[in-house]
Amino acid sequence: MFGKNPIAKWLLLILIASALRLLSLNNLPNGYHWDELDGGYQARSLLKTGKDYFGNILPLFPHSFAEYRTPVLIYLLVPVVNLPLRTLPAIFGILGVVTFGLMTYFLTKNKLLATLSLVTMSLSIWHITYSRQALESIVMSLYFLLGLATFLRGKYKTSALLFGLSMFAYATAKMFVPLFVLFLVIKNGKKISLVAILIFALLSSIVVADGIFGKSGQRFRELSVFTNPTTAADVNVLRQTQQQSSGDAGVGLQPRLIDKIIYNKLTLWGGLWLKNYISAFSTDFLFVRGDNELRHSPKQDDIGMLYLIEIIPFVIGIYVIAKTKNWMLAFWLIIGAIPASLTRSDNPHAARLFIVLPALLLTISMGMEFILRNSKFIFRVYMLGLLISSLFVFSYYFSIYRWESALPFQYGFDQAVKLAVANKDKYDRVIVDGKYDTLLMIYLYYTKFDPSKFQAMLPLPVVEPYSNVRANQIDNIYLLLPGEKVWKQIWADGETGKKTLLIVSSKEPDLEVTKYLPPFAKRLEPLMYPNETTNFYVIEGR
């Protein structure tokens, strides 16, 4: 099945990998999420003005509405800003498959294992998912794999540069890559030049220092287990509960020594981190249900981040790692989940754990090779099971997921914005409501709003088109801020004499939006989801 000359098989696998990452790229997932559009608009702003859209000149970490973004993907998008937004990430995903195969060969000098590694990553739904989104994780993964591949080839200066760039590509690499490189230096120290060490030290010191003390660490500080604002109160409650349940009673009890030892900030932080860390390697996450967020993993409760059948070679692969004493891969597996586990929400998180995916796939590939060398029959049975599993997943992904991905990927928001722009001259005002989703970035990206003009508008004023309803205003278009709206009250306040077009998310309860329409308002043709359910109500009123 996998002969001595694997070139033709490599080309076939790369072709399959390319098809799975490029087919229907612009509408699968169905829509562009806010984070994707934000990166695209940052790239457009840098191209047109030399500044991020907040007006910072060639920033190391571009300033976005929600955070300071890592720069690599955004700057790479600048020269291709007029191409479809997901083109470059898909190409990086394909290159990642090729690099993974080469890295495996450079590590093991085993053509068969390298071919099997191409099989696992080509078919990996986890890798495919992130190859089809304009997000930083796929870029980080490619730079890291290139860094490791060049390191294994003895190109240490190039490797140092690539490892450093991977840290600038995605936040979780800021902690993982220095630890991994330190391991490589300790293991191969005599071979590595001082220049290579200095290159990596310079790049890593910049990104780590800014992550700890600077603006780029803002997001981590918000999500870190160490910054949970309820920790101190939780400690006090647990100490008091333990003391009272042990027989003490009364108000204002002083914690005992045992209470302080058992319950303190360190034990709570450590317990949460350990829970998160273990969940990253749970069978539930890896093989059964995957990530709970549909943007990170297709179909909750049915599709794991890895195929269920891959649990067999994964377990065998762990045995092979131990038997062959492959310390580098073992170290990669062990520390890969640490950065993601230090966040206190959305665990396990497929994007934050993406750095460990190649290690998991290489472990599976080792298990597959072990099976093949011991029983070709069992290997053929396994491969048949893998192909059937992948067929079912891809059948779902390229059909039903088109509908299911519409909501989490903000399908139709571009239609709402374009409808607003097309009708702004026909009405005194056009009001667009995304319910819980912000519409400003969607407006800026899809209208190709002049970044220099937007920079001149900052700080963007917030207005109230209705009582207690806040919005960003551009021309006569009002983009309502996320949150609850009491439409019954809005209709009561609505007769202002201004001819108004309302484009309202269907997430607003239908009774609130449409049942109590006043005489001066009427429903127009709505905007629809791909499954023909209502996405946005369109209402004409005053």
Hey, where are the domains in the chain? Answer: 143-217, 225-263, 413-541
Q: What is the average pLDDT across 202-216?
A: 91
pLDDT category at 175 given cuts 50, 70, 90 is very high
Summarised one tens digit per residue, pLDDT across range 34-69 is 999 999 999 999 999 999 999 999 999 999 998 999
Residues 6+ apart with CB under 8 A from 463: 470, 471, 472, 473, 478
- Evaluate if residue 250 carries a pLDDT over 70: no
Encoded amino acid at 191, one letter: K
Which of 11-15, 191-195, 204-208, 222-226 has the weakest average pLDDT? 222-226
CA-based radius of gyration for the chain: 26
Q: How many helices (H) and strands (E) does the chain have?
A: 26, 7
Summarised one tens digit per residue, pLDDT across range 265-276 is 899 899 999 999
Q: What is the average pLDDT across 415-424?
A: 96
Q: What is the average pLDDT across 373-400?
A: 96
Using DSSP's 3-state secondary structure scheme, residue 373 falls into: helix
Phi/psi for 526 (5° steps) reads: -80, 165
* CA end-to-end span of the chain: 70
CA 242 to chain centre: 40
Whether omega for the bond prior to residue 29 falls within 30 degrees of 0, making it cis, is yes
C-alpha distances (whole Å) from 68 to each of 54, 128, 215 are: 11, 26, 6
**pLDDT for position 466:** 81
**pLDDT for position 468:** 81
Which of 10-19, 204-213, 249-258, 342-351 has the weakest average pLDDT? 249-258
Q: What is the average pLDDT across 178-207?
A: 93
**pLDDT for position 307:** 97
Phi/psi for 437 (5° steps) reads: -110, 140
Say which residue the tokens 């647990």 belong to.
Answer: 238
Which of 21-35, 162-176, 240-254, 461-475 has the weakest average pLDDT? 240-254
Q: Which two tokens stand for residue 234?
A: 């939780």
**pLDDT for position 215:** 86
The percent of residues above 70 in pLDDT, for the chain, comes to 94
Q: What is the average pLDDT across 95-117?
A: 97
C-alpha distances (whole Å) from 486 to each of 367, 390, 478, 492, 510 are: 58, 46, 17, 10, 12
The percent of residues above 90 in pLDDT, for the chain, comes to 74
> Which secondary-structure segment (H or E) carries 98?
helix 87-108
Which comes out higher in pLDDT, residue 61 or 254? Answer: 61
**pLDDT for position 4:** 59
**pLDDT for position 251:** 58
Mean pLDDT value across the chain: 91
Which residue(s) pair with 432 in the sheet?
479, 503
- Evaluate if residue 494 carries a pLDDT over 60: no
| C-alpha triplet 457, 460, 465: angle, nearest 5° | 120
pTM of the model: 0.93
Cβ atoms of 312 and 372 within 8 Å: the answer is: no
Residue of 163, 156, 178, 122 whose CA lies nearest to 394 = 122
Measured distance CA(488)–CA(471) in Å, rounded: 18
**pLDDT for position 257:** 84
pLDDT category at 141 given cuts 50, 70, 90 is very high
Measured distance CA(382)–CA(509) in Å, rounded: 49
**pLDDT for position 514:** 67
pLDDT category at 313 given cuts 50, 70, 90 is very high
Say which residue the tokens 């490189």 belong to.
Answer: 181
Cβ atoms of 455 and 410 within 8 Å: the answer is: no
Say which residue the tokens 């992904």 belong to.
Answer: 397
**pLDDT for position 511:** 54
Which comes out higher in pLDDT, residue 117 or 466? Answer: 117
Encoded amino acid at 318, one letter: I
| C-alpha triplet 427, 433, 439: angle, nearest 5° | 100
Q: What is the average pLDDT across 128-157?
A: 97
**pLDDT for position 236:** 85
Q: What is the average pLDDT across 221-225?
A: 85
Summarised one tens digit per residue, pLDDT across range 63-73 is 999 899 999 99
